[in-house]
Amino acid sequence: MTPTSVGMRCPECARQRTQVRRVAGPSFGVSGRWSATNVLITINVVVFFAELATGVTLGGRDSGWVFDHGALFGLALTGHNPYPAPFNGDHQYWRLLTSGFLHAGLLHIGLNMISLWFVGRVLEPAIGRANYLAIYFSSLLAGSFGALLFEPNVPTIGASTAIFGIFGALIVVAYKRGIPIWQSGLGPMLAINLIFDLTIANVSIGGHLGGLLAGILGGLAVTEWGQHRSRRAWVFGACLVIAIVSVIGAVAVAGGTGLTPNGFTL
């Protein structure tokens, strides 16, 4: 697999000297074209600075107004729970989304943003910005569902749920385009990440698996329908279904059985 300005290409194709025409895109107020990956990284970094300003430390102390009101916590979605504010809110469904833009410390956000940049810069030009964003946010919501399914009473934060989705979609797209999964390094990278999830404490296994599954389904939708002009809307429909099912599932399992919020997972 050889990343190029027009997506993933085989080594032989990448060496061809064919002419490529570029179409100018929005600049977002800066010189040059910003990709959706760059915008997402910027949003995550800005939110992290807001966390630092309200109590989270570079070392990862989990406190502060932004963290407390944005982290995913099951009973904060259901309402009428015995915990002190802000975890005793009434149906705080925004946490399903906002938790994916919060991070615990410099190492956490650093690793996640580097991972997002590596996989995003390859997948986004290969499937288009709109498809990329649809998979990203549907994977984020699916990851929230997975996190609540496994640990409803442990606050969960991090963009890794969505990043696992992008990674899953990249594997599917690469496979469908004839790129060997193991030779390209995608297979070993997935295996390493899964082993990491199973062996390292405070990692949301459910969140990562939920995001990965949603990304695989989104990647299948893109490869099956994304190349047909009359069926491109089906890709958004598939991602919308994933998002709706994830939200419904997350609310259904959010009650949990624990007594206190204990620590947090990434």
Please report whether residue 19 resides in a domain: no
pLDDT confidence tier of residue 237, bands split at 50, 70 and 90: very high
What is the domain-level CATH number for residue 240? Answer: 1.20.1540.10
Instruction: Note the pLDDT tens digit of each residue in 1-15.
Output: 566 656 666 666 666
Residue 122 resides in a domain:
yes
Domain that holds residue 89: 35-253
Angstrom distance (rounded) from CA 240 to CA 147: 19
Q: How far apart are CA 69 and CA 95, in angstroms?
A: 8
Classify residue 223: in a domain, yes or no: yes
Q: How far apart are CA 149 and CA 110, in angstroms?
A: 27
Tally of domains in the chain: 1
How does pLDDT run across 122-177, given as a tens digit for each residue?
A: 999 999 999 999 999 999 999 999 999 988 888 889 999 999 999 999 999 998 88
d(CA 221, CA 58): 39
Average model confidence (pLDDT) across the chain? 81
Evaluate whether residue 17 is within a structural domain. Answer: no
pLDDT value for 216: 95
Residue percentage of the chain with pLDDT more than 70: 75
| pLDDT, tens only, 188-209 | 777 777 776 666 667 788 999 9
Q: 1 is written with which tokens?
A: 């697999």
The answer to whether residue 244 sits within a structural domain is: yes
Domain membership of residue 102 (yes or no) is yes
